[in-house]
Amino acid sequence: MPDNIKYLTTLSTHQIAYHYSPGNQPTVVFIHGFGSSMQGDKAMAMEEACRRWGHAFIRFDLSGCGQSSGDFSSATIDRWLSDAIAVIDKLTQGPLILVGSSMGGWLMVLIAQARQERIIHCVGLASAPDMTDYTLTSKFNREQCEALEKEGLIMIHNPDFDDPMIIYKMLLDSGKKHNVLKAPIMLNIPLTLIHARDDKDVPWQRSQILHEQWHGAPSELLLLPQGGHRLSDNKSLNVIINQLRIILDNHCR
């Protein structure tokens, strides 16, 4: 089936690439992770499942990622949050189920806080809330921290990229403004979290903290024995699809 990628121009003039699969409400919105894109196995598997079930599904590339315009290295949490809210406000209608992967699980929480009247369920996959403080900064050595303060950026190796990744201080500063785990999260929105115990990039305890901080609605944490950070193996994908089907069925009764 042709991908039929379209583009949304945001207020910051970025071209946000997206793919919308029409269907019944609620619409499932997928938010990808740090340095990833909307073309990942999880997004594609969920889209295909929603198409079979007759439910609308939208996936998109944050600016600087995938097929969207913009410079990835100079992106901030503010900008990516603005991208996601623009997609929701301009391209969707009615109730929404948010599915956030890794850093997308952090953006999912921020979106739910900003548009809580429209969100009826949140699903976090290997969620990485507050990742700029924990997943990135906590792994810097003394020399990297000093270089970051002096130069405003550092270069780090990431196995998912061919070239070294540039991390700007403004990304980390932006993240501090949007930390969500330092206080109870008061949202009347059910939450489902799926995380693998063998995740070496984002420990499953990060999802556990999010689970414990979630107040105002039921929260469920599903820990898989295997699956790594990507959760893209067949067993993990089956768990994700089954959980999504249960959530949709519960909201469509």
Q: 159: which residues sit within 8 A by CB, 6+ positions away?
A: none
What's the CA gap between 129 and 120, in Å, rounded?
20
Tokens matching residue 117: 């009247």
Is 146 contained in some domain? no
pLDDT at 2: 43
Is 108 contained in some domain? yes
pLDDT at 134: 74
pLDDT at 1: 39
pLDDT at 168: 83
pLDDT at 146: 84
pLDDT at 148: 84
Look at the chain and report how many structural domains it folds into: 1
pLDDT at 183: 94
Pair type for strands 119-125 and 191-196? parallel
Name the region of 125 (left: φ>0; alpha: ψ -120 to 50; beta: rest). beta
What's the CA gap between 189 and 196, in Å, rounded?
23
Per-residue pLDDT reduced to its tens digit, 167-226: 888 899 999 999 999 999 999 999 999 999 999 989 999 999 999 999 999 999 999 999
3-state percent helix, strand, coil for the chain, nearest multiple of 5: 40, 25, 35
Q: What is the CATH number of the domain that holds 29?
A: 3.40.50.1820
Tokens matching residue 95: 């109730």
Between helices 77-91 and 103-114, what is the axis angle to 10°?
A: 60
Residue stretches of the chain with pLDDT short of 70? 1-3, 135-139, 158-163
Rounding to the nearest 10 degrees, give the CA dihedral for residues 68, 124, 181, 160: -50
pLDDT at 234: 97
Between helices 234-251 and 41-53, what is the axis angle to 10°?
A: 40
pLDDT at 142: 81
The phi, psi pair for 238, rounded to 5°, reads -65, -40
Is 42 contained in some domain? yes
Q: Are 75 and 108 in contact (CB under 8 A)?
A: no
- Please give the share of the chain, as a percent, with pLDDT higher than 90: 76
Is 143 contained in some domain? no
Is 97 contained in some domain? yes
What's the CA gap between 127 and 36, in Å, rounded?
14
Is 138 contained in some domain? no
What's the CA gap between 204 and 202, in Å, rounded?
6
Which residues span the domain enclosing 200? Answer: 6-130+183-251
- Compute the chain's Rg from CA coordinates: 17
Is 230 contained in some domain? yes
Is 154 contained in some domain? no
What's the CA gap between 196 and 51, in Å, rounded?
27
Pair type for strands 119-125 and 96-101? parallel
pLDDT at 3: 66
